[in-house]
Amino acid sequence: MKVAILSDIHANFDALFCVLKEAKRLEVEYLIIAGDFVGYYYNICKVLDALDDWEFTAIGGNHETLLADWLNNKNQKTTLKKYGSGVKIASEQLSKKQQQWLINLPKKKEFLIENRAILLCHGSPWGEDEYIYPDCKQAKLDAIFSLQHDITIYGHTHYPIVHRYQNQLIVNPGSVGQTRDRKPGACWTLWDTKLNAIELMRTFYNTKELIKQCQANDPYLLYLQTVLTRTNEN
């Protein structure tokens, strides 16, 4: 079976639409989503509508926690200043049922696909807000491998990476909605479960409309725009 591993969509429908189109072309049958549906950008309802056509397993990330806090009138000024108005707009767009679904997603999940044991988390197996960057110390990876899952999937850093030890895999698919490695495009991962083969994918999409939305909603938080198109040359 072919599985698409996604993370950190961040309400970027334009990116997700192109990723799902590519996944369909590649005959993907199932999605695994490592959290952060909301935050930063502005089209969460379109994101959820697009995912309705797919079978998937998902967890929540730290931005789902921010959404829960926002709905409880917690840390709103801090969230706006640091992340922009994405969570605020999500709280206004989403139905009560959608809000509850997002904020009640588990923060970690263990499950099987074709007898392969999977651990799905957002930041790390030990916390949704822990960062495991590509240059992390080997001891951190060894600790994850010691948990003895066939594949451990995490997100949060927005940097794609694959580590392999014998028959075990650690995978961060990168971010669909806001990649940070100065290579424009939407990042995700294609997993062939039969071969246990992983391929890091990057799907290009037009960022012009999303940049216009950033200019309208968060004109003073320029990072939301520049991160979408920056390269090593700029």
pLDDT tens digits for 127-168? Answer: 999 999 999 999 999 999 999 999 999 999 999 999 999 999
* pTM (two decimals): 0.97
> Domain-by-domain residue ranges, the chain?
2-226
Please give the biggest Cα pair distance in the chain: 49
Rounded CA Rg of the chain: 17
Question: Burial code of 101-110, b = ≥16 C-beta within 10 A, e = fewer?
Answer: bbbebebbbe
pLDDT class for 232, splitting at 50, 70, 90?
A: confident
State whether residue 39 is helix, strand or coil: coil
Please determine, for residue 187, whether its predicted confidence score (pLDDT) is greater than 70.
yes
pLDDT tens digits for 188-197? Answer: 999 999 889 9
Please state which CATH class domain 2-226 belongs to. alpha beta
What does the angle CA 16 – CA 176 – CA 17 come to, to the nearest 5 degrees? 10
Half-sphere exposure at residue 150, Cβ-oriented, CA atoms within 13 angstroms: 16
CA distances from residue 100 to 34, 64, 94 in whole angstroms, order as listed? 18, 10, 9
Contact 124, 130 (CB under 8 A): yes
Calculate the average pLDDT of the chain.
Answer: 96
pLDDT class for 233, splitting at 50, 70, 90?
A: low
Spatial separation of the C-alpha atoms in residues 187 and 227, rounded to whole Å: 14
Spatial separation of the C-alpha atoms in residues 161 and 197, rounded to whole Å: 14
What does the angle CA 148 – CA 127 – CA 225 come to, to the nearest 5 degrees? 115
